[in-house]
A and B are shown apart, each in its own frame.
Chain A
């Protein structure tokens, strides 16, 4: 499974991941302090400009941006239908501003860099016994299980087609869950032996 990160270098790639997250958090807080459509439209235009300036990286996320515009239009249209056009405009503008900032950050920051920032931010929790250093291991396990889910589903579906002559669909959910739980138990035992805690 591919990340949304874009390898094509842009001006935003050079900024540290921590700084980008800090700006996103600050922008998120500020944009919720106002309901003035003019301010929020200016913020949306600024975010859209920043996103467009990413060039090819922005082009790779065209589908995401289009989905966002559709959702923003639906929100604005719904409000207009209810007789609150200005509120709809403000909500849609805020949504576009924040979401485009988030998408820009995701496109220009490797997930390993974001993970490192998350681990750093969460590190005080280690005093309470939380193993923050295992976040990367857990993500890797999750990706492996996702792939394994597909393989198991395909096997069960093939077997069902051979027996019955049509796809298994929902009927496969229970046997798939049982098989995956058994697999997870085996992995848990192995990890327990390897990690010894």
Chain B
């Protein structure tokens, strides 16, 4: 769960903090009991910027902070109660989403800022969108008691907003690739 190297401590904590900051931006509640928040953008950015291992660690650290009672989720939510809400599938899917985003980002080409941005778009769609939504659907079926078709239909409401977040993630990656050319996206550097 925790990084073996002291060099990883700061970036892992940084992206957990970014998720906390995104949590302070107001959420929009939907009838399924699952809110639309900016925090999935943090999941995408953690995977793209840190790579699979440290992205996963960052999200686990954030969830540990939520579990011990810090009100870091959007709307000031926190504590162990949130892990039993209908949205808990999405919440528990975040670490997996960051892991997959990082894995895809590391596998795709990133030699130039433009390529890194294109890779980030695909990686964030695969991890931050697809994986998180699959976990979210499982949560809706298990906790809210919805049927699979109801849960899938319900989660589709979030997809357009999440596609916008994928595009924002790609733009941020492009800007970082230009501003910090030696940054190791997904575990390797752009040129």
Contact = CB atoms under 8 A, between A and B. Distances in A.
B84 A134 contact: no
Given A98-B84, A105-B80, A145-B13, A90 B180 contact: no
Given A141-B13, A142-B16, A197 B6 contact: yes
A32 B82 CA distance: 16
Given A102-B79, A102-B80, A114-B69, A145 B14 contact: yes
A92 B1 CA distance: 32
B176 A174 contact: yes
Interface residues of A, number: 85
B61 A142 contact: yes
A118 interface: yes
Q: What's the dominant secondary structure at chain B's contact region?
A: helix
Contacts of A148: 17
Contacts of A130: 1-2, 4
Contacts of B78: 4, 106
A103 interface: yes
Interface residues of B, number: 61
A137 interface: yes
A188 B28 CA distance: 36
Nearest to B18: A149
A3 B69 CA distance: 6
Interface of B: 1-14, 16-18, 20-21, 29, 31-33, 45, 49, 61-62, 64-65, 67-72, 75-86, 142-146, 150, 168, 171-172, 175-176, 179-180, 183
6 contacts: A4-B79, A99-B85, A102-B84, A111-B70, A138-B12, A143-B17
Given A106-B81, A196-B6, 6 more contacts: A91-B144, A99-B82, A99-B85, A111-B69, A178-B179, A191-B6
